[in-house]
Structure formats: C-alpha cells, structure tokens
Structure 1
Amino acid sequence: MDQLDQTSQNYSLTAAGQRNKVLRNTMWLLALSLLPTIAGAWVGMATGITAGLRGFVGFAVFIVGLLAFQAAIFKFRNSSTGVFILMAFTFFMGLMLSRLLGYVMGMSNGTTLVMNAFASTAGVFAVMATLATVIKRDLSGMGKWLFAGMIAIVIAAAINLFFGSSLMMLALTALSTILFSFYMLYDLKNIIDGGETNYIVAATHLYIDIFAVFQNLLAIFGIFGGDD
C-alpha cells in the first residue's frame, strides 16, 4: 500500500513538473512573440503596406491569414519549425494591427491611448491568470460556448461590413473584448490543469487572446478617448 502511495505521489510530482515546464516555456515564447508583432506594426506603419486592406478585403486577408498560420503551427507544433512559423504569424498580426495603430497614433494623445490599451490588456491578463490559479473547478466545458460566441461575432462582423453600422461595430468590439478575456482564462486554466501540453500551441492561443483584447481596447479608447 505504501509503495502504491509513493508511486502515486511520484506521478503527481512528475505531472506537476511537466505542467510547470509547459507554462514556463509558453510564457517565454509569448514574451518573445511580442518582438515580431512590434516589428510588423512598425513596418506596416512605415510603409503603408496595409493601407488598402479595408472593408471586406482586409477582413478576408485577416481571417485567411489567421487560419492558415494556425494550421501550419499545429502541423509543426512538435518541432522548432513551429516556433519560426509562430514568429512569422505574430509579424503578420503586427502588420494587420498597423492600420488601427497608425490611426490612433495620429491623434494628439495617441501615445497615451496605446499605453492605456497596453496597460489595460496587461491588467486583464493578470486578473485572468490569478483566477486560473485560484479556481479549482474544471473549465473545459467553457470551450464550446466560447467557440460558438466567437463564430457568432465573426459572422456578425462580416454582415456588418455590408451595413457599415458604427453602433454595431462598437457593440461587437465590446463583446469581443469580453469573449477573449474569458478565452484567456480558459486557455490559462487549460495549461495549468495539463489539458494543453504543447507550449507552441499554448503560446499561440494565448497570443491570439491577448492580441484580440489589446486591439479591441485600442479601438474603444480611440473612439471614446481620442483627441484629434
């Protein structure tokens, strides 16, 4: 009986160590991914390469690029190639962010708005990381509801491209901020509980959550706090 208890304890320690390793590697890779994002945003703003990506064209390029990169990352998730693809993906996301970033930075208080959006995003991440460590309940069931919500928002956003409703866009931006904040909690909890064991995939999911929250908050701050 003592031997079984010792074996069980050793297994638990090994599993905990593995989860901590995945979490640590995920955070390092997530921090590293910010560099290509900044580079992509700078290139986009400096060259204006994304200036023509408006309306449905910009929406389509973003969705296709997002899905293609995610598929490639998942395919090469168990090799160093996956890391390089992730870095290319975050550069692409920086390019996609450059139009909004350039618009906000063109305001007299643009730098302050960007810093506020960054600080707010960091605050959301800190809150969700704390909740993920405190909550003992299994949150895996949230996944299907979050995914359904995300699909609904994407479809509504695509429809709104034809109507051009500013009110609808603002509502979807606010809902998307809430949705991806909870996605952040879900993905962090999934790593902590050992549901996600691949740090490349884990970093990709958290990156998308953080990017979405930052982009949405930046848009909201630009709408309500921008000074021309």
Structure 2
Amino acid sequence: MANWSDPRTTAANYATGAGTRSDAYDAGLRSYMLSVYNYMASGVLLTGIVAMLMVMSGAVMSLINPMTGAPSGLGWIVTFAPLGIVFAMSFGQGRMQTSTLQLLFWGFAVLMGASLSTIFLVYTGTSIAQAFFATAAGFAGLSLYGYTTKKDLSGMGTFLIMGVVGLLVAMILNMFIQSSTMGLVISMLGVLIFAGLTAYDTQKIKSMYAHVAGTDMMGKVVIMGALNLYLDFINMFLFLLRLMGNNRG
C-alpha cells in the first residue's frame, strides 16, 4: 500500500455554508477519481494486451523451462521485477517526479502482462474470461461502495493488510505442503481480503483529495492510487481464477 496519510475529514476551505462541500470541490473530486480509475483501467488493459501478445507470438514459452516446466531464468526475472517496481514506487514516491512514477507504472503493467501470460498455459481461455468479468463486476460494486459509504473503513483496512501478510505466509508454506484443501482455503480468503481492500483503498484514495487538491502532490497520489486499485483487481482476479478456473487438458 502507498505510504500516504489516511485522513477522514474534509478540508474546511473547500466547504461552504454549514459544512456543505462546494460544487467546485465535488467537480474536482470527480475529476480526480476519474483520473485514478482511468490510470487503473488503462494499466489493466495494457497488461491484458501484453499477455495476449506473449501468447500469440509464442514468446510466453521463453518464460518456462521446457525440461521441468518451472520458470526459466527470464521467467523468474519477469515474476519478481514487478514486485521490485512496486517497492520502488511505494518507498521512493516522495523523491520521484510524477513523470518518473508514470513511467514506472506503465513499465509495471507491461511486466505484469508478461508474467500473467503464463496463466494461458494453465487455464482455458473461457475460464480466464469468466474470472476476469466476474472480477470486473465485483470490483465495480466494491469500489462504488467504498466511494459512497459513510462508514469509516480504516479499521477494516488494518485487519485486511494483516490478512495479506498471513496469506503470503500460508502460500509459502503450501508450496512445501502441497495441500489442495489449504490451496482452496487460501484462494477463498484471497478473494475476500482483496475484495475488502478494494473498498478500503477507494475510500482512502477519495479522502486524500482534500489534502492534495491544487498541489504538486495530486499527480503522484493519482498514480499511487491507481497502482493500489490495480493490485486489488489483479490479486482478486488471480485468486478467483484459482477457485473457478478449469485447467487445460
């Protein structure tokens, strides 16, 4: 998650009358959130295009060791490079220019496309499409809830982030245990955790507007917000695919 503060109040200078937000504030907020969603959706689209091109060109096979079926040297690089970019963006956002964050975001989306192209070797195209559209529908509803709810979700967010850590530990353990039951439980919890994070991150991104509107920080917050929502979407999609996906042959 991006290392921004998480306020839940609206700046007074954007309000008029008895605490009512001005039309200008509302219009600015809508434009800001639209920018976040545009970045996020464009990133997902770019990832999908790269994945499809990797499959259609056969380049996806360069990521797999033909003798063992495990990732090749290039495959491991493509797998872990996006994680490195996420850490660089999260911890270096304060020092980086907005343009640098933009380039890293698009580079991240491209590398994720290359990495995710391998799912076409495991699951049928129909399964992937079903999981994608189910994720898109769920994401839209959950993000809308996070945007419109008056309930403070910050407490839930702390719990969910702890859940992500627990998921990572469980996934590493299951790499050695190879339990199908544990894998099913992990996938179910993964869908629920990232569904909750979608609503939480949306509310957090919305709350930031009052503090960055009209400042040089807004462009950075837009990109980091898009990155957070992108990660929520992709992780929810992958866990859902593991639950409902049909393996090839």
Pairwise TM-score range, normalised by the shorter structure: 0.7 to 0.9
Cα pair distance change 1:102/1:7, threshold 3 Å: closer
What CA distance in whole angstroms lies between the structure 1 residues aligned with 2:14 and 2:174? Answer: 58
What CA distance in whole angstroms lies between the structure 2 residues aligned with 1:84 and 1:207? Answer: 15
Q: What is the DSSP-based 3-state SS (H/G/I as helix, E as strand, rest coil) of the residue aligned with 2:122?
A: helix
Asked if 2 retains the 8 angstrom alpha-carbon contact of 1:20 and 1:192, the reply is no
Give the aligned partner of residue 117 of structure 2. Answer: 98
Selected match of 1:140 from 154, 161, 166 = 154
**Shift of residue 8, structure 1, vs aligned partner:** 3.8
- Compute the TM-score of the two structures, normalised by the length of structure 2: 0.75
Q: Which runs of 5+ in 1 are unaligned?
A: 105-109
In the TM superposition, 1:140-219 aligns within 5 A as 140-194=154-208, 198-219=221-242
What CA distance in whole angstroms lies between the structure 2 residues aligned with 1:58 and 1:141? Answer: 40
Counterpart amino acid of 1:180? Answer: F
Asked if 2 retains the 8 angstrom alpha-carbon contact of 1:184 and 1:209, the reply is yes
Do residues 51 (structure 1) and 61 (structure 2) align? no
Q: What is the DSSP-based 3-state SS (H/G/I as helix, E as strand, rest coil) of the residue aligned with 1:138?
A: coil
**Shift of residue 217, structure 1, vs aligned partner:** 1.5
Cα pair distance change 1:133/1:91, threshold 3 Å: same
Superposed CA offset, 1:30-54 (max 9, x none): 1211233124323543221322484
Give the aligned partner of residue 87 of structure 2. Answer: 71
Superposed CA offset, 1:133-189 (max 9, x none): 332011122221111100000011011111111221121111111110111111111
Superposed CA offset, 1:86-132 (max 9, x none): 1111122222212222211xxxxx23212211110111112202312
Q: Which runs of 5+ in 2 are unaligned?
A: 1-11, 213-217
Asked if 2 retains the 8 angstrom alpha-carbon contact of 1:19 and 1:191, the reply is no
Counterpart amino acid of 2:101? Answer: G
Greater fraction of residues in helix: 1
Q: What is the DSSP-based 3-state SS (H/G/I as helix, E as strand, rest coil) of the residue aligned with 1:192?
A: helix
- Compute the TM-score of the two structures, normalised by the length of structure 1: 0.81
Do residues 88 (structure 1) and 107 (structure 2) align? yes
What CA distance in whole angstroms lies between the structure 2 residues aligned with 1:59 and 1:124? Answer: 30
Asked if 1 retains the 8 angstrom alpha-carbon contact of 2:122 and 2:247, the reply is no
What CA distance in whole angstroms lies between the structure 2 residues aligned with 1:168 and 1:212? Answer: 18
* RMSD of aligned residue pairs (Cα, Å): 3.0
Deviates more, 1:89-98 or 1:195-204: 195-204
Give the aligned partner of residue 107 of structure 1. Answer: none
Cα pair distance change 1:67/1:218, threshold 3 Å: same
Q: What is the DSSP-based 3-state SS (H/G/I as helix, E as strand, rest coil) of the residue aligned with 1:193?
A: helix
What CA distance in whole angstroms lies between the structure 2 residues aligned with 1:156 and 1:68? Answer: 21
Cα pair distance change 1:42/1:115, threshold 3 Å: closer
**Percent identity at matched positions?**
23
Runs of 4+ more than 4 Å apart:
57-64
Number of corresponding residues = 216
